[in-house]
Amino acid sequence: MSRIEKLSENLSRVFGSKLQSNVVACGEVTIEVAAMNLLSVCTTLRDDEPFAFATLIDVCGVDYSAYGQAEWSTEQSSSGFSRGVEVASHGYMRFGDELPPVKAERPRFAAVYHLLSVKNNQRMRVRAYAEDEAMPRVPSVIDIWNSASWYEREAFDLFGIHFEGHPDLRRILTDYGFVGHPFRKDFPLSGHVEMRYDPEQKRVIYQPVSIEPRVLVPRVIREDNRYFDANSVSRQDGVK
């Protein structure tokens, strides 16, 4: 049994029904827990010797509203274009547009915690979903890992996830008075407003965005073996 598999087995043994999911993929373990169990699970992961995850590397917000419908997926493309099979419009929406309905297999928002155990030389992830889409909330882990402070502020700023118990939860990257959360799937890539200097008012002003949403990614022909049909490629093409 590998060290990763042993870690996964220990997680199942210690936490039991508290784990909603326990998956080994890409050489790491990812577990899912309910928001109400997040603090107790994280405390055990930090303090118990078999785990000793004393370091929080990052806290990421995730918006699953368009999960599995990526516009730029290329795995099923047969033409060699950098364009997905299903065209989505989430990034090119205008203010007031509604997100196209997607069959919800999970809550829309989640917080993902990346942990490191220096003592055991292991990494893992913990995912906790926010049940309320209108006001996504998960507990703050700042009392378990002090480094969570700015990470949680970033996830709050970009995704609108509220970390209950955070002592200073406010925006960290966007401008004062910024409206919305720019990493949500229904936030337009062009934004809602633009700013410019007005020589008459002698100050910077905000106005509705004037640029048209458009795709700027060029057409790319890929020439790796995923797009070659051995029966249709001749020797004169230089492919055997």
Instruction: Give residue limits of the domains in the chain.
Output: 1-64+107-173, 65-105+187-240
Q: How many whole angstroms separate alpha carbon 225 and alpha carbon 202?
A: 58
Q: What is the pLDDT of residues 190-203, one digit of tens each?
A: 777 888 899 999 99
Question: pLDDT value at position 42?
Answer: 98
What is the average pLDDT across 133-146?
Answer: 96
Give me the chain's average pLDDT, please: 81
- Per-residue confidence band for 181, with pLDDT thresholds at 50, 70 and 90: very high
pTM of the model: 0.74
Q: Is 185 left (phi over 0), alpha (psi -120 to 50) or beta?
A: alpha
- Asked if 90 and 127 count as a contact pair (C-beta separation under 8 A), the reply is no
Continuous H helices in 48-207: 148-159
Is the pLDDT score of 160 beyond 50? yes
Sequence-distant (6+) residues with CB within 8 A of 126 are 30, 31, 32, 33, 38, 41, 42, 45, 112, 113, 115
Is the pLDDT score of 112 beyond 80? yes
Domain boundaries 1-64+107-173, CATH class: alpha beta
What is the average pLDDT across 118-130?
Answer: 95
